[in-house]
């Protein structure tokens, strides 16, 4: 059976010259008996400090490179079995063909190429929310960063220097700290996925660490919820939104989950005393977690006035618009600090205005734990 191993060449001199950060191309060597000894340069490169010259393999800190090379090894081993069955000649042309399945011009090279590749390959795995974030906010921020730097960012450019530059750029442009960190986290995931599929990336990806700032949690109190329940509302649309708001408060679910609630998700069970009790049974859209808990008592009147069903479903934008009006009618107008999106800059910035306080206070209700009574 042919043997496969990876190596870097001409590294001894640099090691002696104390140049541990110099990058070297990684080669693959395929030996099949005495007559077949094929060596081909891969798309990967590695700093000397991340490569063990004795074992000719990545060190433990170069985990992404190790994963990528293992994937390439398995791919070649599988192709060798097929070639043996079909009587194909094993030579350098064959090996190059296996290592470059896609035509050179169609292979992703830039970070934005990787992003599109990631969205395409993981289309059925990603939630709609993450598809929107990656194809919108993450992509847009990368495009603006490239424009500021006046250069295209290749997959191999995403290293520690890139991370520092991206953080500095985001801060200078007024992006929130957590937005910058979340974007970088997405970028790391995209590049790691590309590396696992054999595309060249920086060996420094594994060193990316993310620090998030704690955010202030703003939520409705029980007294405020009671005000909302009792207030007389002028339209059916506001009444419908008010009922969804009460449901969200007592279930603690995201809009993407509670807006899908239906009569079919209510199952009959028994409480701790053995008495019949309705339960909510559903799977969360974002996490796929299976959820089942007793239907909170304050929600029962909402269902009763709709013959046992939930309110009419509305979009997140409409929901946000309506609940501002609901809270305004309820007398909830205390100022709070939050992030306001600017149509002009396409970014969020801190603001402290009475008008926007209804919106940000409502966003916090999902943090209110479900009250089961």
In a domain? residue 140: yes
Closest Cα partner for 286 from 113, 99, 130? 130
Whole-number pLDDT of residue 53: 87
- Does residue 136 share a domain with residue 30? no
Q: Are residues 233 and 360 in the same domain?
A: yes
On whether both 192 and 131 belong to a single domain, the answer is yes
Q: Are 176 and 236 in a shared domain? A: no
Which positions of the chain have pLDDT values less than 50?
Answer: 13-18, 101, 103, 353-373
Last residue of a domain, one of 73, 101, 129: 101
Is residue 294 situated within a structural domain? yes
The answer to whether position 334 is within a domain reads: yes
Answer with the one of 81, 101, 121 that is the final residue of a domain. Answer: 101
* Domain presence at residue 372: no
Phi, psi (degrees; rounded to nearest 5) at 203: -75, -5
The span from the CA of 274 to the CA of 291, in Å, is 21
Residues 154 and 195 in one domain: yes
Task: State the pLDDT at residue 221.
Answer: 84
The angle, 0 to 180 degrees and rounded to 10, between the axes of the packed helices 222-230 and 236-251 is 150
pLDDT at residue number 13: 47
- Write the CATH number for 321: 1.10.443
Is pTM, for the whole model, over 0.85?
no
What pLDDT is stored for residue 113 in this prediction? 93
Q: Are residues 328 and 244 in the same domain?
A: yes
The pair of structure tokens assigned to 339 is 């992030």
Q: What angle do CA 192, 198, 201 make, to 5 degrees?
A: 50
> Are 244 and 354 members of one domain?
yes
Per-residue confidence (pLDDT) for residue 372, from 0 to 100: 36
Domain count, the chain: 3
Beta-bridged to residue 282, according to DSSP, are: 291
Question: Which pLDDT does position 343 carry in this prediction?
Answer: 52
DSSP characters for 114-167? HHHHHHHHTTTTS-HHHHHHIIIIIHHHHHHHHHHHTSPPBGGG-SHHHHHHHH
Tokens 């999106």 map to which residue?
A: 341
Which residue, among 174, 189, 172, has the nearest Cα to 138 in the 3D structure? Answer: 189
Residue range(s) defining the domain that contains residue 158? 106-207
Question: In whole angstroms, what is the distance from residue 257 CA to residue 280 CA?
Answer: 12
Check whether residue 195 and residue 248 sit in a common domain. Answer: no
Give the per-residue pLDDT at 12: 54
Q: Which pLDDT value is given to residue 172? A: 94
Residues 141 and 228 in one domain: no
Q: Are residues 77 and 116 in the same domain?
A: no
- Say whether both 129 and 175 belong to one domain: yes
pLDDT the model gives residue 336: 59
Report the distance separating Cα 310 and Cα 371, nearest Å. 18
């Amino acid at each position: 059976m042919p043997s496969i191993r990876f190596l870097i060449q001409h590294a001894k001199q640099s090691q002696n010259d104390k140049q541990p950060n110099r990058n070297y191309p990684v080669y693959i060597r395929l030996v099949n008996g005495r007559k077949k000894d094929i060596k081909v340069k891969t798309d990967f490169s590695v700093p000397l400090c991340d490569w063990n010259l004795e074992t000719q393999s990545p060190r433990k800190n170069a985990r992404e490179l190790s994963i990528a090379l293992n994937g390439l090894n398995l791919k070649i081993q599988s192709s060798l079995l097929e070639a043996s069955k079909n009587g194909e000649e094993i030579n350098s042309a064959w090996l190059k063909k296996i290592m470059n399945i896609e035509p050179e011009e169609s292979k992703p090279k830039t970070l934005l190429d990787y992003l599109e590749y990631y969205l395409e390959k993981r289309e059925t795995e990603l939630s709609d929310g993450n598809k929107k974030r990656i194809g919108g906010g993450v992509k847009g921020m990368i495009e603006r960063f490239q424009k500021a730097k006046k250069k295209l960012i290749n997959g191999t450019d995403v290293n520690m220097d890139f991370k520092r530059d991206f953080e500095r750029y985001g801060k200078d442009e007024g992006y929130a700290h957590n937005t910058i960190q979340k974007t970088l986290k997405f970028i790391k995931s995209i590049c790691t996925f590309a590396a696992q599929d054999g595309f060249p990336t920086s060996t420094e990806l594994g060193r990316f660490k993310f620090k998030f700032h704690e955010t202030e949690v703003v939520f409705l109190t029980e007294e405020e919820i009671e005000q909302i329940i009792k207030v007389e509302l002028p339209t059916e649309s506001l009444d419908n939104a008010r009922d969804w708001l009460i449901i969200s408060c007592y279930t603690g679910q995201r809009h993407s989950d509670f807006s899908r609630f239906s009569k079919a998700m209510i199952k009959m069970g028994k409480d701790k005393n053995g008495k019949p009790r309705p339960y909510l049974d559903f799977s969360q859209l974002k996490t796929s977690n299976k959820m089942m808990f007793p239907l909170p008592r304050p929600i029962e009147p909402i269902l009763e006035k709709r013959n046992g069903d939930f309110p009419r479903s509305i979009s997140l934008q409409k929901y946000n618009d309506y609940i501002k009006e609901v809270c305004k009618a309820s007398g909830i107008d205390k100022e709070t600090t939050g992030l306001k999106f600017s149509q002009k800059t396409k970014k969020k910035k801190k603001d402290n205005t009475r008008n926007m306080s209804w919106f940000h206070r409502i966003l916090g209700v999902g943090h209110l734990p479900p009250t089961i009574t």
